[in-house]
Structure 1
Amino acid sequence: MSHSHGHDHSHNDLKGRNLLFTIFLNVVITVAQVIGGIISGSLSLLSDALHNFSDVLSLVVSYVADLYSKKEASTKRTFGYKRAEIIAAFVNAASLLIVAIYLVYEAIIRFFNPQSIESSIVIWLALLGIVANGFSVLLLRKDAKENMNMRSAYLHLFTDMTASIAVLIGGLLMKYYSWFWVDSLLTILIAIYLLIVGYDLLKQSFKVLMLFTPEDLNIEKICAAISTVSEIKNTHHVHVWQLNEKETHLEAHVELHKDITISEFDIVSEKVEELLFHDFGINHVNIQPEYNKPDPKDIIIQD
């Protein structure tokens, strides 16, 4: 039994439009920061521009993934493109880590060779980044709570906003105190933050792609719950995984106390599906009935 819920197409369209608008904003910010970074000589501004450029790429990936995730299933693609958004989240997270490592490298070189920086340009472009990214964060905030792909885009934009705040503070310190070494320090701090958020998202998306059991589910407890159905003797050969953030699948073998008919098993199956859906949030269930079958009865069996 598969529990499905209706899709809000107007909401999905709005989500796509919000992504497109944030892509446009980030293109504007990136171009402005590259020009400003070259003119001012600020590495932190160029770092922020590079970060924003990676965001443009990641947002495009997120937008394409969002489009593909709406495509219908077919005989050649029985799940459709429901995992496209998870792949997008993984790619985006990996790009965050790569950018962060590069920023650390550049910052260390600059730290030992500080250069004079035109701080006024840094300040004004940092303000632009704060306003534009702050608006983008607000646009995606709601969808980020429910969707890993949108959360990856949201995290990119949120780190951009915080990075711009840091660059603004650095620009003020350089303008009034001539602390040009702050530019390198800020770059390293931005990179460390990128490494933290990028690694966490990479780990989450990797677990889904590898079909790992969701962290909030305990297979032993699930099997014990299934075995409370009076007709079932034991549950074994279990697999639990997420197709995406909204769909959790379970397949298992159940051994029955009696040799029942198919119509009787349909009733048992419905009991199991309702139990798993309401108690564990598992909305796609496939169980194989057995009676006195001489096969292993372990919960986990290597296929």
Structure 2
Amino acid sequence: MGHSHSHNHSHHHDLNSRNLLISIFLNIAITVAQVIGGIVSGSLALLSDALHNFSDVISLIISWIANKLVKKKASLKRTFGYKRAEILAAFINAATLIVVAVLLIIEAIERFRNPQEIESNLVIWLSIIAILGNGFSVLLLKKNADDNMNLKSAYLHLLTDMLASVAVLIGGLLMKYYEIWWIDSVLTLAIAVYLVVMGWDLLKNSFKVLMLFTPDSTSVKSIVEDIQTIDAVKNVHHVHIWQLNEEEIHLEAHIDFKEDITLSQFDVILNSIEELIYHKYDINHINIQPEYGKCDAKDVIVQD
């Protein structure tokens, strides 16, 4: 038996899908311009920024596909539908951030050993174009990035790329006016380190959701203690709590009752549990197995 507090998110998904699509086309244009500019100017920072922009395009496409999939209805073969598509997209995108960062570090070290003169004017103008394009994309996704891992992964790709372009611009100015050619490699390293820092946190959080770990903000001990304050409840055991996606946290548990209560009495108690758990812990899907005098393991966590 369970209870669900659901809301209509179709408008948000449509808006997010449109914003993602706009960002995809913007980043394709930026990537093409930076690749050409990086080859012509000889700037590794510009080429690395182009590589990151290309990863943005891939991540945005993945996010857009996931955003479309989550709207598909559940079926007999897919009882949860595609509700985890956005979490999977976030995990993939976070992983690509770190992979790109490692590649940038390798290239930066190689270029640092052999610094080259760079056409700084082209670097400056292309970095300005990238800042404006990515800045607009960041604004499009910022509103919903805090509430959705998928959008946050796309947002982080764009934000880090915008900051990378700012670093490239600074490097271009330093090369133009002071001929500090090694700054190109230093900035590439700085961009890479920043990517690792930003990507790791998102990778870790999306991994926890995919592995069905208990959400960090949820205390199993407190939930069990609260349910056991209900008079008819003797014991709460065999507890599982997991996050399905950004909007749903599920709880299932076995409850041992003090007396052999009727089904109607259980429904009244279940309603109390649902209201308590939803309002205090924001858990919106609950499945309780009632028991009386059953000989099974009574530990809170039971290894299945």
SS at match of 1:235: strand
Secondary structure, counterpart of 1:236 in structure 2: strand
Cα distance between partner residues in 2 of 1:17 and 1:143: 13
Q: Aligned-pair distance for 1:139?
A: 0.4
The match for 2:61 is 60
The residue matched to 2:172 in structure 1 has which SS? helix
Q: Partner of 1:279 in structure 2?
A: 280
- Give distance in 1, aligned partners of 2:8 and 2:97: 31
**Structure 2 CA distance, aligned partners of 1:14 and 1:93?**
23
In the TM superposition, what are the counterparts of 1:254-269 in structure 2 within 5 Å? Answer: 254-269=255-270
Report the RMSD for the aligned CA atoms in angstroms.
0.7
Tell me the equivalent position of 2:124: 123
- The residue type equivalent to 1:154 in the other structure is Y
Q: How does 1:175-190 map to 2 (within 5 A)?
A: 175-190=176-191
Question: Which residue identity lines up with residue 252 of structure 1 in the other structure?
Answer: A
Specify the code of the residue in structure 1 equivalent to 2:262. Answer: T
SS at match of 1:143: helix
* Cα separation, 1, equivalents of 2:290 and 2:10: 38
State the secondary structure of the residue aligned to 1:39.
helix
Paired position in structure 2 for 1:93: 94
Q: Write the distance in 1 (CA, Å) between the matches of 2:12 and 2:105.
A: 39
Tell me the TM-score normalised to structure 2 length.
Answer: 0.98
Moved more, 292-301 or 49-58: 292-301
Deviations 1:160-193 (A, max 9, x none): 1100000000000000000010000000000000
2:221 corresponds to 1:220: yes
Aligned partner of 2:22 in structure 1 is 21
Structure 2 residue aligned with 1:239 = 240
Q: CA deviation at 1:10?
A: 2.7
Residue identity opposite 2:65 in structure 1: V
Quote how far apart the aligned CAs of 1:137 are: 0.5
Q: 1:11 is matched with which residue? A: 12
Cross-structure match for 2:46: 45
Q: State TM-score, norm by structure 1.
A: 0.99
Task: Measure, in 2, the Cα distance between the counterparts of 1:240 and 1:297.
Answer: 17
Residue of structure 1 in register with 2:145 after alignment: 144
What SS is found at the alignment partner of 2:236? strand
Q: Which amino acid aligns with 1:179?
A: I
Structure 2 counterpart of 1:167: 168
Tell me the distance in 2 between the aligned counterparts of 1:56 and 1:156: 9
- Following the alignment from structure 1 to structure 2, what is the Cα–Cα distance between the partners of residues 127 and 73? 45
Gaps of 5+ in 2: none
Q: Deviations over 1:247-291 (max 9, x none)?
A: 000000001011011111111111111110001000000010111
**CA–CA distance in 2 between the matches of 1:178 and 1:286?**
67
Task: Count how many residue pairs are aligned between Structure 1 and Structure 2.
Answer: 303
* 3-state SS, counterpart of residue 138 of structure 2: helix
Report the Cα distance in structure 2 between the residues aligned to 1:35 and 1:123, rounded to whole angstroms: 14
Residues of 1 paired with 2:82 and 2:15: CA distance? 20
- C-alpha distance in 2, partners of 1:78/1:187? 46
How far is the alpha carbon of 1:3 from its aligned partner?
2.5
Q: Which digits, 9 at most, give the CA deviation of each residue in 1:37-70, with x for residues without a partner? A: 0000000000000000001000000000000011
User: Which whole-Å CA distance do the structure 2 matches of 1:132 and 1:112 have between them?
Assistant: 32
Of 182-191 and 4-13, deviating more is 4-13
Amino acid at match of 1:126: S
- 2:230 is paired with a residue of what secondary structure? coil
Q: Which residue of 1 aligns with 2:35?
A: 34
Deviation at 1:2, TM superposition (A): 2.3
Q: SS of the counterpart of 1:71?
A: coil
Q: Return the alpha-carbon distance in structure 1 between the equivalents of residues 274 and 5 of structure 2.
A: 13
Which residue of structure 2 aligns with residue 77 of structure 1?
78
In the TM superposition, what whole-angstrom CA distance separates every residue of 1:206-240 from its partner, at most 9, and x where no partner exists?
00000000000110101001111111111000000
> Where does structure 1 lack aligned partners over 5 or more consecutive residues?
none
- Distance in 2 between residues matched to 1:66 and 1:216, nearest whole Å: 25
Once the 2 structures are TM-superposed, how far is the Cα of residue 5 of structure 1 from its aligned partner? Answer: 2.7
Q: Distance in 2 between matches of 1:134 and 1:2?
A: 42
Match in the other structure for 1:204: 205
Provide the rounded CA distance (Å) in 2 between the counterparts of 1:277 and 1:4. Answer: 8
AA paired with 1:212?
Answer: F
Between the two proteins, what is the percent identity of the paired residues? 62
SS of 1:287's equivalent in the other structure is strand
SS of the residue 2:65 aligns to: helix
